[in-house]
Amino acid sequence: MSTYRARDQAWNTRLWHLPAISEITKTAIVTAKVIELGLKQLFTFITMWRSLVALLLFVNPALAQEHATAYEALRVVARESGRNALHHIVSITGVEGDPQPKKWNIVLESPDAGGGVREVEVHDGRIGSEGAPRGSVAGSAEGATIDTARLNLDSSGAYALASHTAQTSHTKFATVDYTLRTDERGEPVWIVTLVNKSSRPVGTINIGATRGTVRRTEGMFAGTTMEDVETEYDAEERGMLTGIEARIKRAFHRTQEEARGMFERVKHSFSDFINRE
């Protein structure tokens, strides 16, 4: 028995055998001791809770960064399949990113494989599986491959730009789906689909992976494209735009300008990334 408990018991024994102390006084003393004990327990609980909160604040950022970015997934492919594999990337996809997905599916050009392509699944820092693509291959044309030397935007940067675009258009989302592929001109482009808590897509943003330009949106800004903005002022002068149309396109144009500034902060050359090793 601890010294503290022994002292308390001795005090209580003496307390109940003091005839001069009235019942009211005894009750008051007991009440005070109960309050003291309760305060001690409360203090202990608060201390433990604060320690737990501090631990969670320390651990959560690490958990958020646990899942690999697209660049890191490509580095796994280069390590396990050879650096030459980076010249045969057709597309990179990841779903349910929060902000990064748990796994990346990378389609590579492979003449010896059925259909001329093969797909590898990267998760937990390794290639988990490899085989024929499970779905249709995302690419602008058969045999189109991504020039990784032109990549200046990792999936983390694509998320930052997409999240900002969603915020300016008042679009709420829970997770994102990523696709990196080539467009009709062979330029690498991120296609970021915003998904709500009900697993329904609420918007799609096309972002150039070389210059970080927000090229077009679907489900936001009434589907305005970069080409729409370029012709906006001429059309407005000719009286072809309504007030609402003009405001929408100007909002899209403003978002583009803000995205350019943000791109300079999140810009990340893949060549620099892969050559750091």
Q: How many residues does the chain have?
A: 277
Please give the pLDDT value at position 58.
Answer: 44
Q: What is the dihedral of CA 83, 86, 87, 89, to 10 degrees?
A: 150
* Digit-coded pLDDT (tens) for 65-98: 579 999 999 999 999 999 999 999 999 999 999 9
pTM of the model as a whole: 0.67
CA distance 31 to 34: 5
Q: Are residues 34 and 140 in the same domain?
A: no
* Encoded tokens for 234: 């001429």
Q: Are residues 255 and 118 in the same domain?
A: yes
Q: Are residues 27 and 100 in the same domain?
A: no
> Where in the sequence is the domain holding 22, given as residue range(s)?
3-64
Q: Are residues 166 and 240 in the same domain?
A: yes
* Digit-coded pLDDT (tens) for 183-208: 999 999 999 999 999 999 999 999 99
Q: Are residues 51 and 89 in the same domain?
A: no
Span of 40-44, 129-133, 160-164 with lowest mean pLDDT: 40-44
